[in-house]
């Protein structure tokens, strides 16, 4: 069923992206794996091509660079590779007061978490619409449902991804292209280490990365719009809708500080 089809996965070298690559390979999808680490991507390529009868193409790209999305599209276009599934998974966070943060890192976060995601979506969705079929999986976060003092930029960026995905889903109805937004809570990836956060609070409720990936991939195949893995995080996002906004910000700030 998936013979000859291609999926593009950003942030494929570890975590949810790595697990999604393995799940899609099991389904016979050819893969374009994108990340900054060539060594990790080459290892993934070797593992998947050895285990499954698929093709894997490695693209070493830094999505904090504004030209990277166009470079990805151009390289694939030259090889006449048409993308059937786009997975915008790459992203990172940082912890601490925004006014004391590393400005370059914060701007890179916006580029990776928001701008490159939108850029890749614009480039690859149009050909999908012309074909009359395609799927997009945008990885947001349960952070998308509330403001996050202490991680203001990250939480706001994930809110963009959620709302962007919902809007696209409606725009694309009837085209054969679906958009799914995966909103995981704390997950067993390198996120907390890279964001320089501890291992208590929300971090202690981390879900298994493969389990999160399976839930997201299943939702993508079914064409669902939003999926939030884990009962705790489903209830958390539901409670946010009923609480006063000032209270939500204060509670979230407390939870982040104790993470």
Which residues, in sequence order, are bridge partners of residue 6?
Answer: 30
Among residues 18, 73, 154, 217, which one is catalytic?
Answer: 154
Determine contact, residues 137/115, Cβ cutoff 8 Å.
no
233 is catalytic: no
Contacts of 180 (CB under 8 A, 6+ apart): 135, 136, 137, 138, 165, 169, 216, 219, 220, 223, 224, 225, 226, 227
Reading the block at residue 99, the tokens are 């006014």
- Per DSSP, the three-state class of 144 is helix
For 181, phi and psi rounded to 5 degrees? -115, 115
Distances in whole angstroms, Cα of residue 97 to Cα of each of 83, 150, 160, 256: 39, 5, 20, 12
Q: 162 near 181, Cβ under 8 Å?
A: yes
Q: Which helix (H) or strand (E) holds 148?
A: none
**How many CA within 13 A on the CB side of residue 14?**
13
CA 44, CA 49: separation in Å to the nearest integer? 8
Q: Is 65 helix (H, G, I), strand (E, B) or coil?
A: coil
Catalytic site residues? 154
């Amino acid at each position: 069923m998936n013979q000859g089809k291609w999926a593009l996965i950003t942030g494929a070298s570890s975590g949810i992206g790595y697990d999604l690559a393995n799940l899609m390979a099991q389904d016979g999808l050819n893969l374009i794996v994108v990340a900054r680490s060539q060594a990790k991507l080459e290892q993934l390529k070797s593992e998947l091509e050895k285990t499954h009868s698929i093709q894997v193409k490695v693209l070493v790209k830094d999505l904090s660079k504004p030209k990277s999305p166009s470079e990805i599209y151009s390289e694939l276009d030259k090889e006449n590779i048409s993308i059937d599934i786009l997975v915008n998974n790459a992203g990172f966070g940082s912890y601490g007061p925004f006014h004391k943060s590393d400005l370059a890192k914060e701007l890179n976060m916006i580029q990776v978490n928001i701008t490159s995601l939108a850029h890749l979506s614009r480039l690859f969705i149009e050909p999908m619409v012309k074909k009359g079929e395609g799927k997009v999986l945008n990885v947001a976060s349960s952070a998308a449902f509330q403001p996050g003092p202490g991680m203001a930029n990250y939480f706001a960026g994930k809110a963009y991804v959620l709302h962007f995905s919902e809007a696209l889903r409606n725009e694309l109805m009837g085209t054969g292209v679906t958009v799914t937004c995966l909103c995981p809570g704390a997950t067993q990836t390198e996120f907390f280490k890279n964001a320089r956060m501890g291992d208590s609070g929300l971090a202690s409720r981390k879900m298994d990365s493969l389990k999160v990936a399976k839930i997201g991939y299943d939702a993508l195949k079914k064409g669902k719009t939003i999926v939030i893995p884990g009962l705790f995080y489903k209830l958390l996002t539901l409670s946010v809708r009923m609480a006063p906004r000032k209270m939500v910000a204060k509670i979230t700030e407390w939870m982040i500080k104790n993470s």
